[in-house]
Amino acid sequence: MEHIGTLKHERMIGELDLKRLKLENQALDKRHQHEREHEQHEFRIMQMQLMISQNPQAVASAMMQSRDLTSQGPGQFKFIPELDAATLPSGSSSSLPSLPFSM
């Protein structure tokens, strides 16, 4: 009878260890997701700074057009040609890393 009690105790310890590992893994996944989002944000900021330094007139035009986007309502987007990679000098867009993300 004592052996059965020991087995149940060991099983509970194993289940608690698995639960702890699962929670640690979830926390690690959340931290990695946050880091990826932060890196994507920094990359977008860097792209904007580069675009502003290369072509300030296109930025002013794009900002005016972006006001039109906000009047369309959420979930409705349109293409702004001034924000295209073609506005960058030739060769500079190839040196920028591409990050896969969706909006």
**Total domains, the chain:** 2
Picking from 31, 36, 29, the residue whose alpha carbon sits closest to that of residue 100 is: 36
Tokens read off for 26:
């979830």
Q: What would the mean pLDDT of 66-85 be, rounded to a whole number? A: 57
Structural domain containing residue 44: 1-54
- Is residue 77 pLDDT above 70, yes or no? no
Answer whether residue 43 is part of any domain.
Answer: yes
Query: Does one domain contain both 1 and 42?
Result: yes
- Is residue 70 pLDDT above 70, yes or no? no
Query: Does one domain contain both 30 and 60?
Result: no
Q: Are 81 and 58 in contact (CB under 8 A)?
A: no
Query: Does one domain contain both 5 and 22?
Result: yes
27-60 confidence digits (pLDDT tens) = 999 999 999 999 999 999 999 899 888 887 877 7
Query: Does one domain contain both 41 and 69?
Result: no
Its pTM stands at 0.46
pLDDT value of residue 9: 93
